[in-house]
């Protein structure tokens, strides 16, 4: 059997406007500025991957990710696309960090391997197709606006709502009080401070908010303060989930060893892709820690790959895969579909998401090929 090789890689700047601004404690997002990677092989297959850079979390912008991807693509041309371990080792050895750019290649390689095997990605990963739901996230605004958005989210069939906080004790209390009053007691509330509180404020605010039956709180304090996170976990009546303090399996081992959190939030653009995400989940499962699969600002393409991973690993008990909402248009064909908050996976080889040809024509792009 003739060995396949990577013959061409196409890189795209995926830029989409948001219908509304989205505010978290770290900044305000007006548009989606991602990258796409399409890897073509000599056996006629191609795989799609998406990276979603957030500079205040991963240290990458769209321009940085695209330039890194352009360089990284040169290391993959002519090589076996199905030896994923070796290919990702090539990229890590050449360039440290840049997890968002690497995650796009990782996703495309897994898409290719699943297509070559004739399996949906969840099956390639050794899992089975299962039904699960995502929350929908509400950005920081006035209590009145956030309560109205929460009620609308409930009316659209979502069982869980994630609320962005991280400003100050009084205002964050007012926000959650208004939201709980609006949606009642039959909706799960999750909160995310995005490192917005100092340790004292975090402890006080979490004690205040416990009366509203909060499922968990993500990254309440600065990502570097893991000793503080451990202290907070011991004192907080609300379970703590690590996010910005968790990039890879080494971070997972450190957090688990410290007893610093109750849950892990895995994001593909933060971890470098599926390969490392699997390692994080393995560490978590060994330590008795359940995980969530979260998102940055991916389209349904990146979210589809993430959803396959959720389906394949039961220890990933929670999903926050809602970034397809609040965008001006959807450039993705195929992929996951939503029924309220419930997510349905496609039953085709690969991850099952593709990009509309007319959308590709509107974005800046470049091609890396085998040298002449």
Q: Which residues contact 253 (CB under 8 A, 6 or more apart)?
A: 283
Q: Which residues are catalytic?
A: 164, 192, 218, 243, 267
Whole-angstrom Cα distance, residue 369 to residue 372?
A: 9
DSSP letter at 183?
H
CA atoms within 13 A on the CB side of 310: 30
Q: E strands within the chain? A: 6-24, 27-41, 46-51, 132-133, 136-138, 160-164, 188-192, 214-218, 240-242, 263-266, 290-293, 316-319, 332-334, 337-339, 342-344, 353-355, 365-369
Q: Which two tokens stand for residue 263?
A: 């849950």
Strand-pair category, 27-41 with 290-293: unpaired
Could you give the 3-state DSSP secondary structure of residue 316?
Answer: strand
User: How many CB atoms neighbour CB 20 within 10 A?
Assistant: 11
DSSP letter at 189?
E
Whole-angstrom Cα distance, residue 368 to residue 348?
A: 28
Give the burial class of 184: count Cβ atoms within 10 A of its Cβ; 0-12 exposed, 13-18 middle, 19 or more buried: exposed
User: How many CB atoms neighbour CB 329 within 10 A?
Assistant: 11
Residue 154 backbone zone (phi > 0: left; psi -120 to 50: alpha; other: beta): alpha
β-sheet bridge partners, residue 241: 218, 263
DSSP letter at 295?
-
């Amino acid at each position: 059997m003739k060995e396949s090789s990577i013959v061409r890689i196409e890189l795209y700047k995926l830029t989409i406007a948001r219908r509304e601004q989205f505010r978290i404690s770290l900044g305000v997002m007006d548009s989606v500025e991602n990258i796409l990677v399409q890897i073509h092989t000599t056996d006629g297959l191609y795989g799609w991957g998406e990276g979603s850079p957030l500079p205040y979390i991963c240290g990458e912008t769209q321009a940085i990710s695209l330039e890194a991807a352009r360089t990284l693509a040169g290391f993959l041309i002519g090589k076996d696309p199905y030896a994923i371990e070796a290919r990702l080792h090539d990229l890590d050895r050449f360039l440290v960090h840049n997890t968002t750019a690497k995650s796009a290649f990782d996703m495309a390689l897994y898409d290719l391997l699943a297509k070559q095997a004739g399996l949906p990605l969840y099956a390639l990963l050794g899992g089975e197709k299962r039904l699960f739901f995502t929350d929908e996230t509400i950005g920081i605004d006035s209590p009145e606006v956030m309560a109205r958005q929460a009620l609308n989210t409930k009316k659209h069939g979502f069982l869980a709502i994630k609320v962005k906080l991280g400003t100050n004790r009084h205002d964050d209390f007012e926000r959650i009080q208004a939201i709980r009053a609006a949606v009642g007691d039959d909706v799960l509330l999750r909160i995310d401070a995005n490192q917005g509180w100092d340790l004292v404020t975090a402890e006080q605010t979490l004690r205040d908010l416990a009366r509203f039956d909060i499922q968990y709180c993500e990254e309440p304090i600065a990502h570097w303060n893991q000793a503080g996170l451990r202290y907070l976990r011991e004192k907080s009546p609300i379970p703590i989930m690590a996010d910005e303090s968790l990039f890879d399996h080494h971070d997972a081992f450190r957090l688990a060893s410290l007893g610093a959190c109750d849950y892990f939030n895995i994001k593909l653009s933060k971890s470098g892709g599926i390969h490392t995400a699997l390692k994080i989940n393995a560490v978590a499962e060994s330590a008795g820690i359940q995980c969530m699969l979260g998102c940055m600002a991916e389209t349904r393409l990146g979210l589809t790959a993430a959803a396959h991973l959720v389906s394949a690993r039961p220890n990933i008990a929670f999903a926050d895969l809602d970034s397809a909402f609040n965008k001006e248009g959807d450039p993705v064909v195929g992929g996951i579909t939503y029924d309220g908050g419930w997510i349905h996976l496609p039953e085709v080889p690969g991850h099952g998401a593709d990009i509309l040809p007319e959308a590709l024509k509107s974005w800046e792009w470049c091609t890396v090929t085998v040298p002449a």
